[in-house]
Amino acid sequence: PKTPCSSRGGPPHCCLSSSSSVFELWRMTRQHFQPHQMWEVHMTGDVTGHNIRAEPDTRSDLVGSVKHGRTLMMMGEVDGWLVLADGSGYSKKTGSNSSGSSTWVRSAAAEKAAAEKVAARAEKWQMHLTGNTGHHIRAGPNTQSNVLKTVEHGTTLMMMGEVDGWLVLADGSGYSMKTANNGGSRWVQPFQPHQMWEVHMTGDVTGHNIRAEPDTRSDLVGSVKHGRTLMMMGE
């Protein structure tokens, strides 16, 4: 049976039965995902490989093996087992036998390189508010998670992606709902001058409407025909 996640003074732990799927564990721990958490395996003696298994159990199916010096991205730790960031398996943090030992250690150099790659792929988002209420940045992708800070209208931040309607800050420090307060606050992508869109129509449709506001009840300001291309700043 599963028990609630706890920090235990370090990376998040989740107690799961050995039959639990990798995906189920990932769903439970993803709010703690640290995209720059890189680990490197070190071996001593005659050890030639460190195993990756389907479950956090030495009797579980072997899904791969890594050699000395290999670096992988991990999402956290489960009772002495590191969880691969893509959810594909687990690797015991430390192992040993009569031939020697193998241990995973955090790699600052690899984490710096990973952070630079994420920053290069990150996208700029801007906060739009229609009321006086600010928009929260939280520790996890849920409204019960701690509020880290509140941003105001016009705030621009770099985001690395989206998880179930929550944008993830590029540095991994927090999450923010893409839209909140019944649409009164929302993240939008600033003007991108080369974002071109073409309208395609089927059947007897003769035009596609352009409105004053993002609402089908808003004033009609124009209409375009099949094949028309327009420049858009975002969605």
Give me the pLDDT at residue 5, please: 39
Q: Whole-prediction pTM value? A: 0.46
Q: Looking at residues 198-217, what average pLDDT do you find?
A: 90
Determine the structural domain holding residue 112 and report its residue range. Answer: 22-116
Q: Would you say residue 39 has pLDDT above 60? A: yes
At residue 62, does pLDDT exceed 90? yes
> Which carries the bigger pLDDT value, residue 91 or residue 7?
91
Same domain, 153 and 214: no
45 is a domain residue = yes
Quick one: 53 and 90 in the same domain?
yes
Q: Is residue 139 part of a domain?
A: yes
- All residues at 6 or more sequence positions from 127 whose CB lies less than 8 Å from its CB, including other chains: 135, 151, 152, 153, 154, 155, 156, 157, 185, 186, 187
Q: Which residues of 17-27 are buried (b: 16+ CB within 10 A; e: fewer)?
A: eeebebeebbe
Residue 15: pLDDT band with limits 50, 70, 90: very low
Q: Are residues 177 and 141 in the same domain?
A: yes
* Residue 28 pLDDT class (50, 70, 90 cuts): very low
Same domain, 26 and 61: yes
Does residue 97 sit in the same domain as residue 42? yes
Both 112 and 133 in one domain: the answer is no
Same domain, 47 and 111: yes
Which CATH number goes with the domain that contains 137? 2.30.30.40
Measured CA to CA, the distance from residue 14 to residue 11 in angstroms comes to 10
How big is the CA angle at 193 (ends 188 and 197), to the nearest 5 degrees?
A: 80
User: Tens digits of per-residue pLDDT, 90-136?
Assistant: 999 998 888 899 999 999 888 888 777 766 777 888 888 877 678 99
Q: Is the pLDDT of residue 81 over 60?
A: yes
**What is the domain count for the chain?**
3
The answer, yes or no, to whether residue 38 has pLDDT greater than 50, is yes
Give 2's pLDDT tier (boundaries 50, 70, 90): very low
Q: Is residue 60 part of a domain?
A: yes
